[in-house]
Chain A
Amino acid sequence: MLEIVNLHASIDNKVILNGINLKINLGEVHAIMGPNGSGKSTLSNVIAGHDGYDIISGDILFDGDSVLDFPPEKRAHLGLFLSFQYPVEIPGITVSNFIRTALNEIRKAKGEESLGASPMLKLMREKMKVLEMDKGFLSRSLNEGFSGGEKKRNEIFQMAMLEPKMAILDETDSGLDIDALRVVANGVNALRSDRNAFIVITHYQRLLDYIIPDFVHVLFNGKIVKSGGKELAIELEKRGYDWIKKEQK
């Protein structure tokens, strides 16, 4: 469903992605691991359509069509979702208003009727229950004053509401304590089906104890240098990244 073909990208003339190849099918969970600065967040931003990066060459295909020329909102309409590593605080927009607007924009783009206030609220309550979120959450300003855990939970809540086909979780585990990690992972697992797919970007193997990946890729210097099954993550946890760095030299 998502195919990344020999993707090279740079920011401020500095090359960050150096030929990424990745193919993801429905029903799969791919973990992307790698040391700091290896290009993990750039990859997720580029897939989501951030215009701060220059695509030098290569392509991103979604259901067979290139999305490189699509703005971020159009990619979201196709079913792409990025759970942000650092969700932006926006005072003055409530969580509920934000999600309502987003969901109805996506529905509109698909030619569906927009969802009325009361079915919307009902749906929000259902999803919040899974994520063990408090009702008061909805009327708070988007991410403003949220703890790290609340921000990440809010991202997963949005994902649950928007039901994307392809979700990228960018370091969703950072800033989470072990209980929050379990709740967030349960939320993700509840959404897993053969009609969607996930990319889980993480530093540590810890999250992968809860969200069990089908494939693990190691990103280094803007390139996938190693791929394997879930056991690769365990090996990385034991041995660190140094041996991979050495292999590359």
Chain B
Amino acid sequence: MKDRLSAFYWLNETQFAQASSEQITSQRRSAIEKFEIEGFPSVRDEEWKYTSLKKLITPDYLFPSPFVPLDQEEQIDFNDIKQFLVNDIDCYQVVFINGRYSSWLSETTHTNYDICTLGSAWKKYPEVVESYFNKLTKDDGPLVQLNTGLAWEGLYINVPKNIIVDKPIQVLYISTGDTPVFNQTRSLIILSEGSSAEIIERHHSLTNHETWTNAVDELHVGSNAKIHWVKLQHDSSNASLTQHSKIHQEKDSTAIVHTISTGGKLIRNNLDFSLTGKGAEARMFGLSLGSDRQLVDHHTRVDHIAPNCSSHEAYKGIYDESSRGVFNGKIYVHIDAQKTQAYQQNNNLILSEKATIDTKPQLEIFADDVKCTHGCTIGQLDEDALFYLRARGIRNKEAKALLMLAFANDAIADIQHPSLRVKLSQLIGRKLGVDMSNAL
């Protein structure tokens, strides 16, 4: 598959070159060359020790052609995707089908800020895109390089100084069609000083064929700016997602990321924060509910580069049946990052003998005046608590679900929108097989 992908790039290089400057083309080319040398990561690679891509790279995937708009036949009716959106909040909406923009399902804007697609931004704002594209992803592994080489479409947000985006931005990536499909999506999000935005992101596959989305996101969060990003990973059982999100934060900025992984075949999240200005704050929360043979892998990394920054990380995992979880949390406190406050917690429940979790905190601290705490736990549901609930008349299944929800609670406590919370509790309830619509 590596050779097919590289051939695909060289075949389409003219299309890529036409869409942007020579400088970008040479970046794409060097990214593909890196990918050609390294190939897909294997379990011999420390970063991929517990997550094998072997099965993921075997299907005969379709690679959607670059810069080709969606044709009529690929249209999807709104009713087919409605259920994947949080419907009762007023939102901007950006929908992609097999990595291509669907204008008739989307509501974008250029009025006070740009909420549109990277595909159109190449033409509309070439200077902005070129000054930000691939700035945060140069040194990352082969999947990121592959994406840098091939990706051209995804979410584009640019918010000017001191502007607040007035409503959440929902972005939905749909996979469909009658062949396996491999999508490269790329988002570029630029929040200038003092601005703020909120994103709700979801990937969903409508086909029975294998789908794989390899996503890369670059987020630039200016001083005093704020981003809240909720990723709902509740895909069908033959859909896989590898996602690298790189967040660059300046002075006094805040980034909050919630990753709720309840469905999909293989999910690998790389979530990296660089705290480059004083007083920046990164908050990340994860909730993973694994069942069947699912794999949910979280690799997070926080680089504390400037002093007086804080990072707060709380990941919860509940693994049932033959599912597997991986958590690797890296915190690097660089030499100048005095007065750093870093908190990391990973707690897991294992509900079956076949389920596994590999959890590894990794802290490297080069400054001397810092406060870092971390911990991880692996356990089972508390039998005494279960008896207590059941003795009050709550049936076994509901009692277990309630305890799991209680366990998961602090991973979703910061999500404020009531309708998003309802959506979340429905997703979690569906996963646990109980009606939880009023539980949150």
Q: Are A102 and B394 in contact (CB under 8 A)?
A: yes
Q: Are A91 and B392 in contact (CB under 8 A)?
A: no
CA–CA, A43 and B392, complex, Å: 17
Residue B162 interfacial (CB < 8 Å):
no
CA–CA, A93 and B403, complex, Å: 8
The interface centre, meaning the residue of B392, B403, B405 with most chain A CB atoms within 10 A of its CB, is: B392
Q: Are A73 and B394 in contact (CB under 8 A)?
A: yes
* Chain B residue with Cβ nearest A83: B391
Q: Are A105 and B403 in contact (CB under 8 A)?
A: no
Q: Knowing A77-B393, A93-B406, A102-B393, say if A84 contacts B398 (CB, 8 Å).
A: no
A77 / chain B contacts, CB cutoff of 8 Å: 393
Q: Are B398 and A101 in contact (CB under 8 A)?
A: yes
Q: Are B387 and A50 in contact (CB under 8 A)?
A: yes
CA–CA, A54 and B349, complex, Å: 28
CA–CA, A98 and B408, complex, Å: 16
Q: Are B395 and A92 in contact (CB under 8 A)?
A: no
Q: Are B391 and A101 in contact (CB under 8 A)?
A: no
Residue A56 interfacial (CB < 8 Å):
no
B407 / chain A contacts, CB cutoff of 8 Å: 92
- Band of interface residues on A: 20 to 34
CA–CA, A105 and B439, complex, Å: 13
A51 / chain B contacts, CB cutoff of 8 Å: 387
* Chain B residue with Cβ nearest A91: B406
Residue B385 interfacial (CB < 8 Å):
yes
Q: Knowing A73-B390, A84-B388, say if A105 contacts B395 (CB, 8 Å).
A: yes
Q: Knowing A93-B402, A101-B402, say if A88 contacts B393 (CB, 8 Å).
A: no
Residue B12 interfacial (CB < 8 Å):
no
CA–CA, A98 and B409, complex, Å: 14
Q: Mark B371-408, 1 if CB is under 8 A from A, else 0.
A: 00000000000111101111111111011001101111
B409 / chain A contacts, CB cutoff of 8 Å: 91-93
B70 to chain A, nearest CB (A): 43
Residue A90 interfacial (CB < 8 Å):
yes
CA–CA, A91 and B314, complex, Å: 15
Residue A199 interfacial (CB < 8 Å):
no
A98 / chain B contacts, CB cutoff of 8 Å: 389, 392, 402
CA–CA, A71 and B396, complex, Å: 9
The interface centre, meaning the residue of A71, A90, A98 with most chain B CB atoms within 10 A of its CB, is: A90
Q: Are A71 and B394 in contact (CB under 8 A)?
A: no
A91 / chain B contacts, CB cutoff of 8 Å: 406, 409
Residues of chain B from 424 to 440 with CB closer than 8 A to chain A in the complex: 439
Q: Are B382 and A88 in contact (CB under 8 A)?
A: yes
CA–CA, A208 and B390, complex, Å: 29
Q: Knowing A87-B388, A90-B388, A93-B402, say if A105 contacts B393 (CB, 8 Å).
A: yes
B385 / chain A contacts, CB cutoff of 8 Å: 88, 90
A154 to chain B, nearest CB (A): 12
Q: Knowing A71-B396, A101-B398, A105-B398, say if A76 contacts B391 (CB, 8 Å).
A: yes
Residue B321 interfacial (CB < 8 Å):
no
Could you tell me which B residues sit within 8 Å of A by CB distance?
382-385, 387-396, 398-399, 402-403, 405-410, 439
Give me 23 A-to-B residue pairs in the complex whose CB atoms sit less than 8 angstroms apart, sorted by A's number.
Answer: A49-B390, A49-B391, A71-B390, A73-B392, A73-B399, A76-B391, A82-B391, A90-B385, A90-B388, A90-B403, A91-B406, A91-B409, A92-B410, A93-B402, A93-B405, A93-B409, A97-B439, A98-B389, A101-B439, A102-B389, A102-B394, A105-B392, A109-B393
